[in-house]
Amino acid sequence: MVTSRIDDLVGRVLGDRYRLTRPLGVGASAHVYIAEDTKLRRKVAVKLLHPALAGEPAFLARFEAEARAVASLRHPNILRLYDSGRDEAGPYLVMELLEGGSLRAILDRGSLLSPGQAAAVGVGVARGLAHAHRQGLVHRDIKPANLIFDEEGRVYIADFGLARALAEAALTEPTGAVVGTGRYAAPETLNVGHLDAKADVYSLAVVLAEALSGEVPLVADTPLGTLALRAGADMPVPEGAGPLGEILAAAGRKDPAERVDAARLADALSEVCERLPRPAPLALRPPADLDPVSTELVDPTELVGRPQLFDDGASTEEPAGADGVTSGEGAGGDGPPVTSRRSARKFWVLAAVLVVLAGGGTVAWAAATGRLLPVSHPVPNLVGEPRAQAAAALSRLHVRLGVSSSVYSSLYPAGDVVSQTPSHGRIDEGKAISVVVSLGPAPVRVPDLAGDTEQAAEQALSALGLRYELAPEVPSMTVAAGDVVSSSPSSGTLVPGQSVSIVVSSGKPQVAVPSLAAGASSSAAQSALHAAGLAAAEIYDYSTTVPKGDVISLSPPSGSKVTVGSRVTVDVSLGPHYVTVPNLAGDSVGAAVQALSADGLGVAGTNGNPINSVTATSPASGTQVLYGSSVTLVTG
């Protein structure tokens, strides 16, 4: 049974946890909702697939296996898959909720991306794809509807793993649903074999071309026609692609073996991002800005009035966004199957026959007319070949090599072929193929790095494609530790891949606190410290062993390692500390003891009756004695 209205399930709780609160989109095989995770108290997105899929064991097995694999992906440009499960309403996926809308929504509003915006979006998608490809996962359905933005404009790839699970269902689905969005499919889809990671790269190139121009390149009236076009020619680069032109051309090669991979595509797009000015923010179209969700099963990403790529009775293209597989029922729910496995197989056999007939047309015509044609050969692919090897390969075919121009290229080493004319078809012997040869990466201006931190210098050079070598650190009185003192070369231009030598400061130099001769004066100490680049701070203490004005000690002590400019404390002698014995006559013994203690003197004892008053002291009052000496009290 097919649910005909998306809002029928609002309020339902899936898996005793996810309460559907608001519809986001509908499609022939999936509904998308905003939901509340009642356990973690957060908003999530829930994709509820067609309930008929719950009865497909092959689909459920693949669905659960793919969900586990995709849930393990951790990358800032891949939409997080939190959970998956089954419900009476159908299998479902629980995903991270993003509020920035999709690239499809931006393009449907008529907004195009600038080269800088397209490069920024493309590098995020390519990095996400490269991460997934390293894990052995291929998306198989890269399209604008599956590129979602958060509120800050970061792009995320959605529906990883879903296309493969639905493909498994399509192999056994009685209605013969065929997975894959033909408008963005790679030409090798015609082979009906295993699609590898390079298919995702081609689809991304098509998406970026549409985002720049508003037109999907190499599109025919039917999906088969589209794939046939793409199998016969490399993807054309849209006008206005600017610095993205060469990169899109490398990603849009018809032959997967000649196509760049996602990691290399990400590097090339990142380099373009660094060269271009910071682009304007994307004209995001959040779901809240869209029209109210239709309750009919339609493709929410299809432009109104856009020509369809297929008739209603023979669809091979998957609805985008909320859908994961083409529905096997008509608009009213009672129509005939879209295709059957048998008719689909006949369809591909017929396509193969047509391709063979098309390839043999020239020979058949020649045999029928009896006319001799010039000897010709299939045009070889020379892109990426060194010029000398390309010339040798053509020489064996009796075809000449002509160099039309040379261009800087970050994708091809100097001397390699960047592009060729003609690039496909056949060429007669004696004719020439014109090529554009790479000059290697374009030279970049070396930045002045003096005063930058080591990390900032490394980032600046990496952004230009330059390497850096770290020379031994040197002390500096003016450059803080960890900052760049100098670099070589410090100006001019270099080719990406060349190195810049960086000298980093270890900070101010260390010196030893100087040693002083015995009996050195305070002025001699100051002179020695200043000569070593150190400052002096004097303090004064009494000493019975060091004459007045001489140095008692240094702190830190002599021989210690300190930073140039540090302050050293110089302890200078005041000589012995003398005090005068006070006149205590007439004082009580207790009062006399207190008076002596206040002057830093002690009491040696009392001569006489301690009850009587003090009559004299020994030493006598007025006598100069050392601080801390003892005085004898005499009483009457």
pLDDT in tens, 476-519: 989 999 999 999 999 999 988 899 999 999 999 999 999 999 88
Q: Please tell me whether residues 260 and 324 are part of one structural domain.
A: yes
Q: Please tell me whether residues 452 and 548 are part of one structural domain.
A: no
Q: Please tell me whether residues 172 and 221 are part of one structural domain.
A: yes
Which residues are within 8 A (CB) of 494 and not within 5 positions of it... i.e. 6 or more apart? 443, 444, 446, 466, 500
Average pLDDT on 173-182 reads: 43
Pair of tokens at residue 294: 């239709």
Give the H or E element holding residue 426.
strand 426-428
The answer to whether the beta carbons of residues 577 and 522 sit under 8 Å apart is no
Q: Give CA 73 to chain center in angstroms.
A: 15
Q: Please tell me whether residues 218 and 192 are part of one structural domain.
A: yes
CA distances 204 to 34, 200, 228, Å, are 27, 6, 19
Q: Please tell me whether residues 280 and 133 are part of one structural domain.
A: yes
Would you say residue 317 has pLDDT above 60?
no
Domain assignment present for 85: no
The answer to whether the beta carbons of residues 189 and 195 sit under 8 Å apart is yes
Q: Which of 153-162, 227-236, 285-294, 302-311 has the highest mean pLDDT?
A: 227-236
Which residues are within 8 A (CB) of 488 and not within 5 positions of it... i.e. 6 or more apart? 500, 501, 503
Q: Give CA 584 to chain center in angstroms.
A: 88
Of 484, 504, 524, at which residue does a domain stop? Answer: 504
Domain assignment present for 140: yes
Burial-class residue 97 by CB neighbours within 10 Å (0-12, 13-18, 19+).
buried
DSSP state of 102: B
Residues 445, 381: Cα–Cα separation, whole Å: 34
Pairing of strands 614-618, 484-488: unpaired
What is the domain-level CATH number for residue 177?
A: 1.10.510.10
Domain count across the chain = 5
Q: Can you give the pLDDT at residue 313?
A: 31
Q: 193 φ, ψ to 5°?
A: -115, -160
Q: Can you give the pLDDT at residue 324?
A: 33
Q: Which has the minimum average pLDDT: 357-366, 383-392, 487-496, 523-532?
A: 357-366
Would you say residue 372 has pLDDT above 90?
no
115-134 vs 262-275: helix crossing angle, rounded to 10: 150
The answer to whether the beta carbons of residues 427 and 434 sit under 8 Å apart is no
Burial-class residue 592 by CB neighbours within 10 Å (0-12, 13-18, 19+).
buried
Q: What's 347-368 look like in SS3?
A: HHHHHHHHHHHHHCHHHHHHHH
Domain assignment present for 234: yes
Domain assignment present for 212: yes
Residues 450, 331: Cα–Cα separation, whole Å: 69
CA within 13 Å, CB half, 572? 16
Q: Can you give the pLDDT at residue 166?
A: 66
Q: Can you give the pLDDT at residue 340?
A: 37
Which residues are within 8 A (CB) of 428 and not within 5 positions of it... i.e. 6 or more apart? 374, 375, 376
Q: Which has the minimum average pLDDT: 2-16, 103-117, 240-254, 383-397?
A: 2-16
Average pLDDT on 265-272 reads: 94
- Residue 352: CB atoms within 10 Å: 13
Q: Please tell me whether residues 425 and 537 are part of one structural domain.
A: no
Q: Which residue in this structure is represented by tokens 């993003």?
A: 98
Domain assignment present for 624: yes
Least Cα distance to 296 among 47, 4, 25, 32 occurs for 4
What is the domain-level CATH number for residue 619?
A: 3.30.10.20
Q: Please tell me whether residues 143 and 256 are part of one structural domain.
A: yes
Q: Can you give the pLDDT at residue 5?
A: 65
Pair of tokens at residue 446: 């070396």
Would you say residue 433 has pLDDT above 90?
yes
Cα maximum dimension of the chain? 160
The answer to whether the beta carbons of residues 301 and 146 sit under 8 Å apart is no
Q: Can you give the pLDDT at residue 194?
A: 65
Would you say residue 417 has pLDDT above 60?
yes
Q: Give CA 338 to chain center in angstroms.
A: 42
Which residues are within 8 A (CB) of 346 and not within 5 positions of it... i.e. 6 or more apart? none
CA distances 410 to 32, 118, 235, 441, Å, are 42, 18, 19, 5
Q: 142 φ, ψ to 5°?
A: -75, 125
The mean predicted confidence, pLDDT, of the chain is: 82
Q: Please tell me whether residues 406 and 429 are part of one structural domain.
A: yes
Q: Which has the minimum average pLDDT: 178-187, 383-392, 503-512?
A: 178-187
Q: Can you give the pLDDT at residue 495?
A: 86
Domain assignment present for 56: no
Residues 592, 172: Cα–Cα separation, whole Å: 116
Pair of tokens at residue 495: 């080719």
Average pLDDT on 581-592 reads: 95
Q: How are strands ordered across the β-sheet holding 614-618?
A: 602-607, 630-635, 614-618
Residues 189, 195: Cα–Cα separation, whole Å: 7
Q: Please tell me whether residues 414 and 466 are part of one structural domain.
A: no
Domain assignment present for 290: yes
Of 542, 573, 604, at which residue does a domain stop? Answer: 573
The answer to whether the beta carbons of residues 62 and 171 sit under 8 Å apart is no
Residues 304, 291: Cα–Cα separation, whole Å: 13
Tell whether pTM > 0.75. Answer: no
Q: Which of 73-82, 464-473, 590-599 has the highest mean pLDDT?
A: 590-599
Q: Can you give the pLDDT at residue 424?
A: 87
State whether residue 444 is helix, strand or coil: strand
Which residues are within 8 A (CB) of 460 and not within 5 positions of it... i.e. 6 or more apart? 447, 449, 452
Least Cα distance to 267 among 467, 383, 410 occurs for 410
The predicted-structure confidence for 338-347, as pLDDT tens digits, reads as follows 333 334 444 4
Would you say residue 237 has pLDDT above 80?
yes
Q: Can you give the pLDDT at residue 169?
A: 54
Average pLDDT on 581-585 reads: 95
Domain assignment present for 617: yes
Catalytic residue among 16, 83, 108, 141: 141
Percent of the chain exceeding pLDDT 70 equals 81
Q: 613 φ, ψ to 5°?
A: -80, 160
Q: Please tell me whether residues 519 and 590 are part of one structural domain.
A: no
253: confidence class by pLDDT, cuts 50, 70, 90: very high
DSSP state of 146: G
Q: Please tell me whether residues 494 and 520 are part of one structural domain.
A: no
Average pLDDT on 171-183 reads: 46
Give the H or E element holding residue 420.
strand 417-421
Would you say residue 366 has pLDDT above 90?
no
State whether residue 289 is helix, strand or coil: helix
Q: Can you give the pLDDT at residue 363?
A: 34
The answer to whether the beta carbons of residues 473 and 504 sit under 8 Å apart is yes
Strands (E), 489-565: 493-494, 499-504, 510-512, 535-541, 551-555, 561-563
Range of the domain at 494: 444-504
Q: Please tell me whether residues 333 and 402 are part of one structural domain.
A: no
Would you say residue 393 has pLDDT above 80?
yes
621: confidence class by pLDDT, cuts 50, 70, 90: very high
141 in active site:
yes
